Structure 1
Amino acid sequence: MDALSLKGLAKVYPNGVEALKGIDLTVREGEFYALLGPNGAGKTTAIGIITTLVNKTAGKVRVYGHDLDTNPAAVKRCIGVTPQEVNLNMFERPMPTMMHQAGYFGLTPRQARRNAEKCLRAVRLWDERNMLTRTLSGGMKRRLMIARAMVHEPKLLILDEPTAGVDIEIRRSMWDLLQEINERGVTIILTTHYLEEAEHLCRRIAILDRGEIVVEDRMEHVLRQLPEQHFVISLQQAASPGQKFAGFQVHWRSRYEMEVEVPATRSLNEFFELLNAAGIQVLSIRHKTNRLEELFVRLTMPDLPKLPDREPGSALEQPDAAKA
């Protein structure tokens, strides 16, 4: 069954900005799906339409078989949303926050208490249920927003930058939480500028640019579009920097570290065989840049000749072209 179906979805704002240009998109039930794009690409507009906050100009939206035009209430019941900005009542406590949210969806007090406890335990906030929200850490507030979005037991969870502004340790723990939620059968749509996050979590991906979908496929198929990959290899012992390896471009950073370009027609295992033949032992290996980030730049910013050498997990943004 399709969790989400968009057919010819278009949005033109009164100022003439064409935020969405008739996109088609299908998200299957149980999927962990990445919806990516630079600022101004149309992601926020698409989410706003799906969640009934923005009126579409044309097209059809169906959520678990419910038509947005004819049954918006059913669509809302199927969806939980965590916005990018923290929008909690800082002078409320987590338990009342959960109870109020459940009441908006018509749950009885007994159902609300049961679901609130289940969700707070799931995000590991049960012990903090009676603390003032303003005293919670940044990561706890993000987890509380996820629990609040889940309290009415939606089938589809939409996460807009769920780990924005949190440190690496908290981000990794939230990855584990989101995977647990997805494994329980909840369909998740993720938008994020941390492209390592999308590559780690999501099985399928769509990249929006200027209101159009420029790529949509399984994650592994998308990553294969890269004509080459770049790795940084650290060695166990010093080697001669002048050594060459047929079929591979190598740049020696030092006697203990090299960069290697592996074209799509060759494999990393072939390069390891050449290293073994030369008596060179590998200590560690990593991608020079995040693969999805590199592909993202090639698709949405083609005028940039190459990515700078940055560590995986860095945030990537592009200035707003238009609010979308």
Structure 2
Amino acid sequence: MDFAGEQMVCRKRLKGSLESRGESDFFDALPDDLVLCILCKLSSTASCPADFINFLITCKRFNGLGLHSSVLSKACEKMVAVKAKNWSESTHRFLKLCADSGNIEACYTLGMIRFYCLRNRGSGASLIAKAAISSYAPALYSLAVIQFNGSGGSKNDKDLRAGVALCARAAFLGHIDALRELGHCLQDGYGVKQNIADGRRFLVQANARELAAVLATPAPKASSWLTWNPLMHHRHIAVTGCPLFSDFGCNVPAPETHPANRFLSDWFSRCEGSPGQGLRLCSHSGCGRPETRRHEFRRCSVCGAVNYCSRACQALDWKLRHKAECAAAERWLDDAGEIEANGIAINIDVNGNAVEAMES
């Protein structure tokens, strides 16, 4: 028997002995408001879903009050970070309870799962939009990616101006990928009037926020990541770290993947890496987004071996991995043997150098 089970048995024995002596359990006399306050604190600080669930099964009172809307609405990101291998109807119901209680993290996570994994585009987009209305930056950025690609619809459903507007809002809230995406849109004139100077400014801001995130980590780790290496500054040496700062001789780790993106990656890896016949996954390992129709994502026009849902994912994966692997090909065909020949866009890094040609 586990520790929680032993606690429950001991509590029942104690309660029975108290009742036989005509005494009351002081715990049962605690007001509901106080217990709810404790549960709210627990749900907002849990390190994983199991921490909260194990607490709920301790007694009937915790189980009942633990599903109160005020408790579920304050559940933190880690508490609603479900794993693909543990997905079930009960997990789905729990996330829906949290979302219905107004939990922004649950709205976004469940929305991404429904939109991309369960292919319920309408309810998935509605949940993501619900989180976006509450100014949740990852939700705003995800809606921008959906608008840029016309995900869940046809190519004619793309709305570049809406994508730029959503990106701008997420960038204002400090979302790093949105800053990077907006920077590339301004440099390329994609969905907005071209402004190379402003585009570079947003890319520099994205780099600065990445650096700030590293500096916020414990001192020993930050110092090891930011150690200056002159060889890295003058040579292309493969290192594990943040792809953009490696240009300046700093080995900065890649940003932590959001639980929703981690769920998508794990979900489709369990499907042998395929979201469906003729559909492709974003090649950036920290993304996990799949195509919702054929040829939805932009493909590298040099090698044709990788494809990306956004310019931000392309920029990250280029410096992290693809820069060392990309090799020119005479021409490349899709899975049906048809030549993919669309327009080409050249992305520019913060130093003004062309980094990779992409299908637009």
The answer to whether TM tops 0.5 is: no
Larger relative strand fraction: 1
Higher Cα Rg: structure 1 or 2?
2
Larger relative helix fraction: 2
Give the TM interval when normalised to the shorter protein: under 0.3
Q: TM-score, normalised by structure 1?
A: 0.25
Q: RCO (CA 8 Å, sep 6+): is it higher in 1 or 2? A: 1
